[in-house]
Amino acid sequence: MSILETPTGLPPKSVSALRRLRLVSTPEAISFLVLLGCSVLKRTSEFNAVPVMGAVHGVLFLMYLLFWADAWNRVRWPLGRAALIFVLAVLPTGGFFADRALRREEEAGVIAARARKEQDARRVNAERQ
C-alpha cells in the first residue's frame, strides 16, 4: 500500500480517531494562516494580536498532535503515511490537504464497516432459514 492509499475495513474506533483528527485539522490550518497574518500586521502596524492568536494556534496544534498520535495508533498507518499527515500540520495550508486525505480514509472505513454489517446480517438471515 502506498502512502496515499487508504486502508479498508477500519474498526469504528479508528474511524472516530480519523474524524477527530480531520475535524481539528481545518481550524488548525486557519489559525496558522491568521497567526501569519497577525505577525505581518505586527511588523507593519500598531496592531498586535500575535500573543492571542499564538495561544489559540498552540492549543489547536497540540490537539492536532494528540489526535494524530491517537489516529496513528488506532489505524496503524505506515510510517510514511503518518509522517505525511504530521508534516501537513506544519505547512501553512497543509491542514486543508490533511482534511481531504483524512475524509477519504474515514469514508472508506465507514463504507467497509457498513458492508461488513450487511454481510453479517445476510449471514444471520441465511442461518435462520
Percent of the chain clearing pLDDT 70 (strictly above): 92
Cα radius of gyration rounded to whole Å, the chain: 19
pLDDT digits (tens, 9 = 90+) for 7-60: 556 677 888 888 899 999 999 999 999 999 999 999 999 989 999 999 999 999
Angle between helices 79-90 and 50-75 (to 10 degrees): 170
Q: List alpha helices for 76-93, DSSP H.
A: 79-90
Query: What average pLDDT does range 99-124 have in this prediction?
Result: 81
pLDDT above 50: residue 2? no
pLDDT above 50: residue 69? yes
